[in-house]
């Protein structure tokens, strides 16, 4: 009897694993957000680089100038997949600017193409609002006179390997990217940042820092874009964002943030895009924040813990609970 139970347990274990490997990719939940965040600003309604659009089914399947981007069920013929897995710096790599897709994202696209690249009719990938604004002409900025401390800090940051530069010609407003630090501690560089009040765009994606290092960001209230994805940022770190009333874009993807951390964002009235996928944020936390920031686009993406969606229609039903109820007589 005991043996039978054990065998049964082992068998069900195996069975679940196999079932997970075959999990059907849900375009709207898993692929569309990747295209929206990484591709559509250059391959969408505004721009069609390489003659390719990835915002709607018909154009996406048609492909671009040089090749068919997506060939359902045929990974080898899908130029899109070839390009997204190229190493950084390759001629053809996509996106050709900014961060490459993560392994998890390219795997999702791989499985999606292998499974037939199903794209539900009418599903359109939109350009994120903040990205759209950023790709347009920058608005006329007020003059900014950097303090001596700021000039010193900018020079110092450059020597540390942080890429820091004016956001446009002839302005003193800055953007900074910590990628050059790699896996080295970013604590010292973050310490310098507190004097750089001209900072509007800060990319800390993947940076390694200690729990208190983000205290240095407290006074940077001119920030409009902040990337904290793939970092060890904790709920307590988000307290430092409370006064960043100009923040339009915040990325917390792949962090340990919970609903408690989100409480600190409730006053950020200009927040337009917030990415919280692969965090410990719950549906309730998102609903709660959404009530405080009705105009914010909170991207929860695909959640590993979410139940596997069986039917394509589930997504629509979820957003229209009222209708569903009515149907039930």
CB of 305 to ligand HEC, least distance (A): 25
CB of 279 to ligand HEC, least distance (A): 22
Please tell me the distance from the alpha carbon of residue 163 to that of residue 258, in angstroms, as a whole number. Answer: 30
* Residues 53 and 59: beta-carbon distance below 8 Å: yes
CB of 21 to ligand HEC, least distance (A): 24
* Residues 154 and 162: beta-carbon distance below 8 Å: no
Instruction: Please identify, using beta-carbon distances, which residue of 38 and 177 lies nearer to ligand HEC.
Output: 38
Instruction: Please identify, using beta-carbon distances, which residue of 2 and 97 lies nearer to ligand HEC.
Output: 97
CB of 114 to ligand HEC, least distance (A): 16
Find the residue with minimal CB distance to ligand HEC: 64
43 near ligand HEC (CB under 6 A): yes
38 near ligand HEC (CB under 6 A): yes
Instruction: Please identify, using beta-carbon distances, which residue of 97 and 103 lies nearer to ligand HEC.
Output: 97
For CA atoms 253, 256, 259, 262, the dihedral sign is negative
Among 94, 117, 176, 204, binds ligand HEC (CB under 6 A): 94
The window from 2-10, 90-98, 165-173, 181-189 that contacts ligand HEC (CB under 6 A) reads 90-98
Among 27, 41, 241, 250, binds ligand HEC (CB under 6 A): 41
User: By C-alpha distance, which of 129, 164, 134, 163 is closest to 150?
Assistant: 164
Among 2, 97, 140, 327, binds ligand HEC (CB under 6 A): 97
Q: How many residues bind ligand HEC (CB under 6 A)?
A: 25
Please tell me the distance from the alpha carbon of residue 190 to that of residue 217, in angstroms, as a whole number. Answer: 8
Instruction: Please identify, using beta-carbon distances, which residue of 209 and 302 lies nearer to ligand HEC.
Output: 302
Binding pattern to ligand HEC, positions 226-255, x when CB under 6 A? ------------------------------
* Residues 287 and 268: beta-carbon distance below 8 Å: no
79 near ligand HEC (CB under 6 A): yes
Please tell me the distance from the alpha carbon of residue 250 to that of residue 270, in angstroms, as a whole number. Answer: 11
Rg of the chain's alpha carbons, rounded to an integer?
22
Number of neighbouring beta carbons within 10 Å of residue 135: 13
Please tell me the distance from the alpha carbon of residue 290 to that of residue 266, in angstroms, as a whole number. Answer: 9
Instruction: Please identify, using beta-carbon distances, which residue of 61 and 67 lies nearer to ligand HEC.
Output: 67
Instruction: Please identify, using beta-carbon distances, which residue of 78 and 264 lies nearer to ligand HEC.
Output: 78
CB neighbour list of residue 216: distance below 8 Å, 6 or more residues apart: 190, 191, 193, 194
Instruction: Please identify, using beta-carbon distances, which residue of 69 and 117 lies nearer to ligand HEC.
Output: 69
Q: Token pair for residue 95? A: 């996106």
CB neighbour list of residue 28: distance below 8 Å, 6 or more residues apart: 120, 123, 312, 315
Q: Which of residues 100-129 bind ligand HEC (CB under 6 A)?
A: 101
Greatest extent of the chain over all pairs of C-alpha atoms, in Å: 80
63 near ligand HEC (CB under 6 A): yes
- Torsion on CA atoms 251, 257, 258, 264, rounded to nearest 10: -70
CB of 65 to ligand HEC, least distance (A): 4
Residues that bind ligand HEC (CB under 6 A): 38-39, 41-43, 49-52, 63-67, 69, 79-80, 83-84, 92, 94-97, 101
């Amino acid at each position: 009897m005991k043996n039978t139970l054990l065998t049964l347990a082992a068998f069900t274990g195996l069975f679940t694993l196999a079932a997970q490997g075959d999990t059907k990719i849900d375009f709207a939940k898993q692929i569309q957000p990747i295209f929206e965040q990484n591709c559509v600003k250059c391959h969408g309604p505004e721009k069609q680089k390489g003659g390719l659009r990835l915002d709607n089914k018909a154009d996406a399947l048609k492909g671009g100038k040089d090749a068919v981007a997506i060939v359902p069920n045929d990974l080898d013929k899908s130029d899109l997949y070839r390009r997204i897995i190229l190493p950084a710096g390759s001629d053809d790599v996509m996106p050709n600017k900014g961060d490459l897709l993560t392994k998890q994202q390219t795997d999702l696209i791989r499985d999606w193409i292998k499974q037939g690249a199903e794209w539900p009719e009418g599903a359109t990938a939109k350009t994120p609002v903040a990205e759209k604004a950023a790709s347009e002409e920058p608005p006329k900025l007020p003059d900014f006179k950097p303090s001596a401390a700021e000039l010193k800090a900018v020079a110092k940051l450059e020597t540390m390997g942080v890429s820091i530069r004016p956001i446009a010609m002839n302005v003193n407003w800055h953007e900074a990217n910590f990628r050059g630090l790699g896996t080295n501690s970013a604590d010292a560089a973050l310490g310098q940042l507190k004097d750089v009040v001209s900072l509007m765009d800060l990319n800390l994606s993947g940076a390694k820092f200690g729990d208190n290092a983000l205290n240095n960001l407290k006074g940077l209230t001119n920030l409009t874009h902040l990337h904290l994805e793939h970092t060890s940022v904790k709920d307590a770190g988000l307290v430092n964002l409370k006064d960043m009333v100009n923040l339009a874009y915040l990325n917390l993807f792949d962090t340990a943030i919970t609903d408690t951390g989100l409480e600190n964002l409730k006053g950020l009235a200009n927040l337009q895009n917030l990415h919280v996928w692969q965090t410990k944020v719950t549906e309730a936390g998102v609903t709660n924040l959404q009530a405080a920031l009705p105009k914010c686009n909170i991207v929860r993406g695909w959640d590993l813990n979410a139940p596997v969606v069986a039917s394509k229609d589930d997504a629509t039903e979820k957003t229209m609970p009222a209708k569903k109820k009515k149907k039930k007589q």
